[in-house]
Structure 1
Amino acid sequence: MILPLTPASPFPSNRGAVPSMSSWLQLGPSGHHSGLVVEGRGLQVAAAQPTVDPRSWSREHVSLWLHQMQAQHGLPHVPADRFLMNGKALCLMTVDMFLGRVPLGGKLLYKDFQLRLGRAMHSCS
């Protein structure tokens, strides 16, 4: 079940749903939802626009993004210690650096991150 997020609140508001701690980690500096999807306690939280600029992602955002990509694309488990970095550090990574950390799926992660970065940069101009 996907619950929409209202503009007044970054969390689902129907039936008294209580957000998990991981939902709090998805908020960006402006208080908007990051665009990541987190499943927990039988609840799936849908993303609202605008998404957080990947350049401002914390380590927790990066971890949530990796988890989402693994679930969405059936990627093998990525050890957490391979991406102990924030969004700015991801921006500096080449496709070869992604492939060095994740041989099966690194190219997909790189492409997805670059698309998110491009959308964020385009929306700023």
Structure 2
Amino acid sequence: MLVFRRDGGRCVYCGCYLLERTHPLRCSYAESGEYWEIDHKTPVDSFGTNDFNNLQLTCSMCNADKGTMSDRKYRDVLASRVEFEESSESTSSEELWRGIMERRILTREALQEQVDSTDNTVSV
């Protein structure tokens, strides 16, 4: 319970609010409301201890995703995911906009060529 209080009742990685397993009210529709788990910053497999300073509050998804990685390694993984998503989003939107503009230009040029090549005289 001390870890829960120290970490503010939130997952140290994603920040979602966490509930005790004995909490009677759990909203099944909200993203928040995950039950909390205690995670080791330095995994026991890597000679981590059960010392208070080596423990942290996580949601089940982040804890499962972290697996046996150290806290530092997992934070690096999360940071690289965020950087990748941010670069993908900006690149995708820039490429999308560039594609839209290129199609507009090509369409306008094609229409202009049709107008220029059409004989505007009417034969009677």
TM-score of the superposition, structure 2-length normalised? 0.26
Greater fraction of residues in strand = 2
Name which one, 1 or 2, has greater alpha-carbon Rg. Answer: 2
Greater fraction of residues in helix = 2
